[in-house]
Amino acid sequence: QQKVQQSPESLIVPEGGMASLNCTSSDRNVDYFWWYRQHSGKSPKMLMSIFSNGEKEEGRFTVHLNKASLHTSLHIRDSQPSDSALYLCAASMNYGSSGNKLIFGIGTLLSVKP
């Protein structure tokens, strides 16, 4: 079973619209959540991180976190064609003497149509 689940698997939104992506972990060892973005043919790059309950906004991007339910969501307002990419949710898990490891979800493929 995937330790980090993302939904939906794919999403199409019109240019200027709102995209909402979800991510949940089933592992209580989770410490922190990140969102990475991967454009086609490129390597992933960190988009936003969130470590505390609540909301964090950076420009058109807003991230929410509910630590009790281990659920995070990413919202992109005024979506642009350049936002079309694979969005990966990642959670760090601490297993004591084995250190931290970062586990990724399958991703949500976002397409923004002009």
Partner 1 sequence: EAAVTQSPRSKVAVTGGKVTLSCHQTNNHDYMYWYRQDTGHGLRLIHYSYVADSTEKGDIPDGYKASRPSQENFSLILELASLSQTAVYFCASSDELRSQNTLYFGAGTRLSVL
Q: Does 10 bind partner 1 (CB under 8 A)?
A: no
Report whether 26 contacts 86 (CB < 8 A).
Answer: no
Alpha-carbon distances, residue 42 vs 9, 36, 55, 86 (angstroms): 19, 12, 28, 10
Segment lying near partner 1 (by CB under 8 A), choices 11-19, 42-50, 60-68, 69-77: 42-50
Taking the alpha carbons at both ends of the chain, their separation in whole angstroms is 36
Q: Does 31 bind partner 1 (CB under 8 A)?
A: yes
Least distance to partner 1 from the beta carbon of 37, Å? 12
Residues ≥6 apart with Cβ < 8 Å to 99 = none
Segment lying near partner 1 (by CB under 8 A), choices 21-29, 38-46, 56-64, 70-78: 38-46
Segment lying near partner 1 (by CB under 8 A), choices 16-24, 45-53, 60-68, 74-82: 45-53
Q: In this structure, what token pair is assigned to residue 83? A: 């936002």
| C-alpha–C-alpha distance, residues 101 and 114, integer Å | 38
Q: Does 103 bind partner 1 (CB under 8 A)?
A: yes
Q: Does 40 bind partner 1 (CB under 8 A)?
A: no
* Contact residues for partner 1, defined by CB under 8 A: 3, 6, 31-32, 34, 36, 43-46, 49, 51, 88, 90, 92, 98-107
